[in-house]
């Protein structure tokens, strides 16, 4: 059967991932994978339909458990419900407040994987989301060696992407829309999808990875409009919010593959590498990436604090 709507066409050469914590919405788009983050979980946890998950997390953790332990259980319970819907993987995020602590990030990731394994879920179906700080990337390198697959998030720069590939992480999530947000604010300009700075960033990373045979998967994230998604058709994966999934599902125009490994292989590029000091300098030189990484960590940290408050209120 020939795919008619744009979502089905896109699925022919890109893995579509649902960017939501809302199970009901997820079912209608049949994604292969799903991603969550503290902001999405906080939003879902505040919905009456999901109050039972908070009650279950509190009951499972017990009265003596710390708030952090209850949150871990809540994140995993959301993940377990999502895995009933998607055939592939779910991404579960480490507390953003650990973004500059390699060892604490590793310990937290092991705890999360342990909870999934207790529920009978093999680690191959879980991606641990970690911020793309130097410490986060080094934590991911250690975790990958243990067979714990990682999704490096809050990624805004080529230097971050190169360091992730060197760490052999499973997957990266470059944030297309947030890059666009920064450039719009900085320049006052609007950008056509093909000229979108976020689209160009992901295209550069994808081309570099395919040119030099890096196995790390590229998953474009944080989209602001359908045009950005269509310009990245052919990317390994794209994680898309429900509103844009619906827009693609309603769209009937042709979807043309824009990113292709064969084309990337012919690109004229030189391999690069970053040790810690050169990574930090390269990130510092990129004002957009520095500001958006820091802002993302702050926002996710703030939402974890709000989630803690919600749980404390429930606990009484």
Report the catalytic residues: 129
**Which residue has tokens 């971050």?**
160
CA 101 vs CA 94, 140, 235: distances in Å? 11, 12, 31
Helix (H) or strand (E) holding 311: helix 287-315
Asked if 199 contacts 232 with a C-beta cutoff of 8 angstroms, the reply is yes
Report the alpha-carbon distance of residue 316 to residue 304 in Å, rounded.
18
Report the alpha-carbon distance of residue 178 to residue 195 in Å, rounded.
15
**Which residue has tokens 């760490």?**
167
Report the alpha-carbon distance of residue 238 to residue 218 in Å, rounded.
8
Measured over the CA atoms of residue 24, residue 26, residue 27 and residue 33, the dihedral's sign is negative
Helix (DSSP H) and strand (DSSP E) numbers for the chain: 15, 8
Measured over the CA atoms of residue 159, residue 162, residue 168 and residue 169, the dihedral's sign is positive
| Angle in degrees, 0-180, between the axes of helices 67-83 and 51-61, rounded to the nearest 10 | 130
């Amino acid at each position: 059967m020939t795919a008619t709507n744009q979502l089905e066409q896109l699925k022919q050469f890109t893995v579509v991932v649902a960017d939501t914590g809302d199970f009901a919405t997820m079912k209608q788009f049949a994604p292969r994978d799903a991603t969550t983050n503290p902001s999405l979980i906080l939003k879902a946890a505040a919905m009456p339909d999901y109050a039972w998950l908070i009650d279950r997390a509190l009951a499972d953790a017990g009265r003596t458990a710390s708030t952090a332990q209850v949150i871990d259980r809540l994140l995993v319970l959301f993940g377990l419900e999502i895995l009933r819907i998607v055939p592939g993987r779910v991404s579960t995020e480490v507390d953003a407040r650990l973004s500059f602590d390699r060892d604490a990030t590793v310990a937290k990731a092991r705890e999360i994987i342990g909870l999934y394994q207790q529920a009978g879920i093999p680690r191959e179906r879980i991606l641990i989301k970690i911020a793309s700080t130097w410490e986060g990337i080094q934590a991911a390198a250690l975790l990958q060696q243990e067979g714990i697959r990682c999704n490096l998030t809050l990624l805004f720069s080529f230097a971050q992407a190169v360091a992730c590939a060197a760490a052999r992480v499973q997957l990266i999530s470059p944030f297309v829309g947030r890059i666009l947000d920064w450039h719009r604010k900085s320049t006052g300009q609007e950008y056509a999808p093909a000229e979108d700075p976020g689209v160009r960033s992901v295209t550069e990373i994808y081309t570099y990875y395919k040119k030099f045979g890096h196995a790390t998967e590229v998953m474009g994230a944080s989209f602001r409009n359908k045009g950005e998604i269509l310009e990245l058709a052919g990317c390994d994966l794209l994680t898309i919010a429900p509103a844009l999934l619906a827009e693609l599902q309603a769209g009937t125009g042709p979807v043309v593959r824009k990113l292709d490994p064969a084309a990337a292989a012919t690109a004229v590029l030189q391999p690069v590498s970053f040790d810690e000091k050169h990574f930090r300098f390269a990130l510092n030189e990129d004002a957009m990436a520095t500001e958006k990484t820091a802002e993302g960590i702050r926002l996710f940290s703030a939402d974890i604090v709000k989630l803690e408050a919600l749980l404390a209120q429930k606990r009484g």
